[in-house]
Chains A and B, each alone.
Chain A
Amino acid sequence: MTTAAAIAGILWLALTAYAVLAGADFGGGVWDLLASGPRAAGQRRAVAEAMGPVWEANHVWLIFMITGLFTAFPTAFGKLALALYLPFTIAMTGIVLRGAAFAFRGHARGAVEPLSAWGVVFGSASVVTPFFLGTAAASVATGQVDSWPTPYGLLVGAFAVAICAYLAATYLVVETEGTPLEADFRRRAVGAGLASGVLGLLTLALAPALAPTLFHSLTGRGLALLVLALINGPAAAWAVWRSRPRLARLAVVAQVICVLWAWAAGQWPYLLPPTTTIDAAAAPSGTLNAMLVVVAIGMALLLPSLWLLFRVFKKAEASGPRPAA
């Protein structure tokens, strides 16, 4: 394996982390927007409490990925930036508004109106951002970087939103275990699971006609992971349905990982199919080696810190409902 391939692998891991962590934060925004019923306020509070301590750290995976991409694969980055200018700009707007809205609203908790408008901004930006990131990802995966937007991309965008909502709902079931909110989020998990299942299968079914490159990848090198995803999907749905929150959370995360890595394995050794390979797009070896060193040092600092963060805020639930903060 070349250094370039190792770095591509690291960046893909970062993308995976971004998807399962920040993806759930986007999903949280979706459920904030769709909060309803007698416990709507409680649902919003649960979302805010679950996201509060961790969303900024989750968000940094994206920054890591961007800086990593332009350091290690500058030409590919330049190409992507030009071709996908519009979806990236929209997603970026969503990211800015969403983060700021969350902070503003959290800050004004208890305070009155004009600020509650920021709640709507937070929710809608949480839908818009993953949608456009999904369409951009579809452009890369289908080898049609230069022809954004495609109808197929729109479908993938919708799939991305659904799976974010699914992730968030299953996490929130765990976070609200033992409270009345648990049932609310379980229902939402079932709904989001159905939606993402249907959209996912549709994406796959339409691939031979609309995205032959992607279909070829998924049924080529990506086949094993694709099959795993097809088996794991119903298993996740079963766990959600039968109220096995922890198992469900694990299975949904596994589902996202399978999909992302089936795509990655499928398009190997291309970074931007159909022409740009990982090695061809890579920066000179001096840069790649230095980057590996920086990443190694960085991760040595980062991983224990992350572990601490999640231990402090995400472990308490294991021993029953946590005390009110």
Chain B
Amino acid sequence: MTSQASVYRRIVRRETHSSRAGAAITVAVVIMLLAVAAGGAAVYAIVHPPLWAGIQAGFRELAGFRSTVRYALLAAGIVAGLLGILLVILAVAPGRRPRRRVDSSRAAVAVDDKVIARTLAKKGAEAAGVSRAQLSVVVARRRAAVHVTPTAGVSIDRSAVEDAVLCAGASYGLTRRPRVVIAEKAVVG
């Protein structure tokens, strides 16, 4: 019997990282379309000789390396190069999903970053003495960033907001002091 610890490790790893299925399926579909086009063109060239003559003329153009061919090749090369870099990045980057693990004695628990951001926004708004609509939170890996728009005539205690957000975020691994930005413009209360 497989140990539950290894099952949990696998579950958490799979649920907090992208499978890259979407990218892989997209690339596979594009290759299939190219294969259909190449196969169809080859069959048509076999039964319809003028097309094969046209393809041979294309080869000659390419071999001739005239300026139009050169520019087209350069443009195609740049596009292909960028696409290749994007695919390699997708292959090797961790692909973390916006959710993080929370300690539990019974299950593998993961909380979406949106849930955490909403919790931090509530705590931050309470500490700043503003409404939830005046505060936005962005959750990064180790710290949160809070943007507060104050109410006209009411000052905001920055350190109180930082403490409230830091305290609420600690259980989600947000151990670094949050960055709190207080907007220069205020809203009328």
A and B part of one assembly: no
